[in-house]
Structure 1
Amino acid sequence: MSTMRPTPTQHDLDGLLASELLVEASGVPAIAYVRAGLPGAPTIVGLPGGGHLARVFYGHPGSRAEDFLDFWLEQRGLGLIALSYPSDHRAFRRRLTALTVTDWANAAAVITAKIVKTRGLHGPIVPIGWSMAGRASRAFNVAARPLGLGMPGFIALAATPPLPGMVGADPEGVPFTEEGFWRTGSNDADSLSARNESFLRDINWKGTEIIDAAAYAEYYIVNTPIRLRGEPNQRPGLDRNSLLDTIADLGTFAFPEYPFTGVIAPTHTTDARHALTDQATWGFLNSQKFFSEYSAAKPMPALDWSQLRELALQLPTRLCRYVEGGHFFFLGRDGAAQTASHIQDLCNQLEHLQGRGKWESTNLPQTPAGPVG
């Protein structure tokens, strides 16, 4: 794989790739990548995890397109809006070190609505949250409602839900940069943090290099606003930093406000927490959501009680898929193709669960879709 950079453009000099633009809503900026899908097809909104730009969904100059989700989503007619939260990346002029999950989810939803309107996009909007981005699932769903976004659900990719206490706390606390960001990485290929060295091994676990150390450091790694982590007491002196504040920000127990969530989980011991718990954890939240819909007598599929009960029992498995790999299972040709297949399937499942019908892809061109997991 070539890692040679193309001739710099003005975008490049500002830290943006030619395919990216800087957008803002409610005083919160983001780096956006936008590619429209087929008319009426779902548009996927990619939200990245801690320490990473949303380029994990669409790649960097010199990378192989088929190693990234965007390529395979396009083969299936699905659009992509990928949004990178404000960090210490040089494209951002302001440093929002205390950005909350609610702040980011609200801005991301408004930015999505603006893009949908200006680009004339039609069809469902389905956010996919990788890793830390699962924290924003409820808040994004709440923000999407008044904006008229047709959001049948959320899809979690090895993602942590809005439940504090799920991530092990270091008794010495997490490291911070001088600016006050959670130090999640180093932009020097020769001195990657132990965390990112581990991630890089996970990315390239099959032995075929997908992202090399230099490209990883230059194009993907950032330091992160600590409150997006969704855990309390991470930084002494930070306002709204208690467990109660964190629960309020995440909306942990506001079960009716959660979206139905499809789950795509890894299989390897390198990401044991997600491999072992994602189906059950998100399944619990889906069950609570299902019960809240039933209790509120909202429109549900025309099923009798025995059918409703059977559907509730099936939810944890019906909305869960697995892809071989670790935390970056969606990178690499096979993993990206399988993940895109599961995303399309889960979009259909979420639409059907909401009683909105099923988006059919019979009008797609006959292009290779890759292996299905």
Structure 2
Amino acid sequence: MNINDVSVELSTGERRVTYDGITGLRYWRAGVPDAPVLLFLSGGGHLARIAYGVDGIDQTQFLDHWLAREGWSVLALSYPTDHPAVGAPLPEITLVEWARWVARATADVLDENPARGVFAALWSMAGRSCNALNAAFRECGQELAAVISLAAMPPLDGLMNVTPGGEPLTSGNLWAIGPSDRGPDNLWVREFLADLAAQSERDGVTIVPEQRYLQDFLCNTPIMLRGTPQRIRNGHPEWDRAAAISDTRSDELDAYPLAAAITPTAPEDGRHVLMDAVSWSFVCAQAIRARWQAAGQPTTRWPDLVKLALQSRARLQREIPGNHFFFVGSAGAAATTAAIVALSKELRELSDEIDRLLVG
């Protein structure tokens, strides 16, 4: 399909963007000058529309609406897929390549709208990119202020579940979730629909009509963005744990960013409820350690730095009632926005406190 096919209608604020032969879908809404930018990266099987919606659906059901009320800008990026909104699948794209694309897209936006802190909100699978993303920003001469997990899985080896035998692939070697592969027998789609229905029931309103969700939000996904040993090389599936570790940069301890976590509460998303606060606290601790080492390992205020690192877990975690889609629906989106704003302030204060301790 021609990616410039005018018969494929994009929603307000969307634009297909290509860098170095990689095409993704960009949504950009500029907020108040000098206000922060929320960079949203989506999880498996979903366009980034899950953060901002599409034309014809109540915008109050999505994060973008509530962030706009806070003055924040939103940059939401969808990975290469065969979904008609993108129409440029790249089944062999790696996390490192995707992170560099994201950094380039962010740099272009900031060239036009300079000087704002960028906080990356990573949902689900997108958490696997946090180290690669932090490194890619540095390569571009940018600074990623921090990442905020939305029920996301960090890039630690062995955390991601893999279906026995591997995730199902389309004939084009994409992780089969949609749009043409979203049949009732697809386990992932059944779980997504159940979770979205539960969020709708909690809100007392249909957040997204099922057919619109299947058509406009779900997409087949490049499998290597999951950061697992399931890989595609030269058109053929293979398993390579070492390649997955290298791609997620989980073994590059200086690549970890400052991080916070917003966690759901429902047992249906139990692994995130139980694990995320601890997992992302580890990520943040690695970032603090890296800054200490880069400063020459000063010890003048060592006890204060240790105390700060220990306190960071409590400071940098929030809970929102709901399941894996807790940030969707007006109540969840409003609460998640409030948590993002609060955590961004905590992360900035933490960063400033680290700097003061390291020079003190």
Alignment TM-score > 0.5, same fold: yes
Distance in 1 (CA, whole Å) between partners of 2:206 and 2:81 is: 27
Structure 1 residue corresponding to 2:27, chosen from 30, 33, 36: 33
Report the Cα offset of residue 234 of structure 1: 5.2
For residue 131 of structure 1, what is the aligned residue in structure 2? 124
Quick check: 2:41–2:122 contact (8 Å CA) kept in 1? Answer: yes
Quick check: 1:266–1:326 contact (8 Å CA) kept in 2? Answer: yes
Asked whether 1:226 is paired with 2:223, we answer: yes
Q: Deviations over 1:262-285 (max 9, x none)?
A: 111111011001010000111112
Map 1:325-340 to 2 at 5 A.
Answer: 325-340=322-337
For residue 168 of structure 1, what is the aligned residue in structure 2? 161
Quick check: 1:174–1:234 contact (8 Å CA) kept in 2? Answer: no
Map 1:234-249 to 2 at 5 A.
Answer: 238=236, 241-249=239-247
Report the Cα offset of residue 192 of structure 1: 7.1
For residue 73 of structure 1, what is the aligned residue in structure 2? 67
**Count of residues paired in the alignment:** 346
Amino acid in the other structure paired with 2:47: L
Amino acid in the other structure paired with 1:284: F
Quick check: 2:227–2:248 contact (8 Å CA) kept in 1? Answer: yes
Q: Deviations over 1:66-103 (max 9, x none)?
A: 11000110111110001000011124454310110001
Report the Cα offset of residue 62 of structure 1: 2.2
For residue 254 of structure 1, what is the aligned residue in structure 2? 252
Between 11-20 and 239-248, report the one with greater CA deviation.
Answer: 11-20
Map 1:184-195 to 2 at 5 A.
Answer: 184-187=177-180, 191=184, 193-195=186-188
Q: Counterpart of 2:230 in 1: which secondary structure? A: coil
Gaps of 5+ in 1: 1-9, 358-373
Gaps of 5+ in 2: 355-360
Quick check: 2:117–2:144 contact (8 Å CA) kept in 1? Answer: yes
Distance in 2 (CA, whole Å) between partners of 1:196 and 1:67 is: 20
Amino acid in the other structure paired with 2:256: Y
Asked whether 1:45 is paired with 2:39, we answer: yes
Structure 1 residue corresponding to 2:89, chosen from 65, 90, 95: 95
Distance 1:260 1:240, change over 3 A: farther
Structure 2 residue corresponding to 1:315, chosen from 309, 312, 315: 312
Quick check: 1:185–1:195 contact (8 Å CA) kept in 2? Answer: no
Structure 2 residue corresponding to 1:61, chosen from 50, 55, 66: 55
Quick check: 1:144–1:151 contact (8 Å CA) kept in 2? Answer: yes
For residue 360 of structure 1, what is the aligned residue in structure 2? none
Report the Cα offset of residue 160 of structure 1: 0.7
Structure 2 residue corresponding to 1:264, chosen from 259, 262, 271: 262
For residue 280 of structure 1, what is the aligned residue in structure 2? 278
TM value normalised by structure 2: 0.89
Amino acid in the other structure paired with 1:325: G
For residue 302 of structure 2, what is the aligned residue in structure 1? 305
Report the Cα offset of residue 148 of structure 1: 3.4
Q: Counterpart of 1:355 in 2: which secondary structure? A: helix
What percent of counterpart residues are identical?
A: 36
Asked whether 1:19 is paired with 2:16, we answer: no
TM value normalised by structure 1: 0.86
Amino acid in the other structure paired with 2:221: T
Between 287-296 and 324-333, report the one with greater CA deviation.
Answer: 287-296
Distance in 2 (CA, whole Å) between partners of 1:341 and 1:12 is: 38
Quick check: 2:173–2:232 contact (8 Å CA) kept in 1? Answer: no
Distance in 1 (CA, whole Å) between partners of 2:89 and 2:231 is: 18
For residue 340 of structure 2, what is the aligned residue in structure 1? 343
For residue 358 of structure 2, what is the aligned residue in structure 1? none
Q: Deviations over 1:107-165 (max 9, x none)?
A: 011011012113x2431011111000011111111111243333211111100111231
Q: Counterpart of 2:149 in 1: which secondary structure? A: strand
Distance in 2 (CA, whole Å) between partners of 1:305 and 1:341 is: 33
Structure 2 residue corresponding to 1:117, chosen from 111, 116, 123: 111
Q: Counterpart of 2:198 in 1: which secondary structure? A: coil
For residue 145 of structure 2, what is the aligned residue in structure 1? 152
Report the Cα offset of residue 17 of structure 1: 2.0
Asked whether 1:141 is paired with 2:109, we answer: no
Amino acid in the other structure paired with 1:163: L
Q: Counterpart of 1:204 in 2: which secondary structure? A: helix
Structure 2 residue corresponding to 1:108, chosen from 96, 102, 110: 102
Distance in 2 (CA, whole Å) between partners of 1:63 and 1:192 is: 27
Report the Cα offset of residue 241 of structure 1: 4.2
Distance 1:23 1:234, change over 3 A: closer
Distance 1:126 1:298, change over 3 A: farther
Distance 1:253 1:22, change over 3 A: same
Amino acid in the other structure paired with 1:152: A
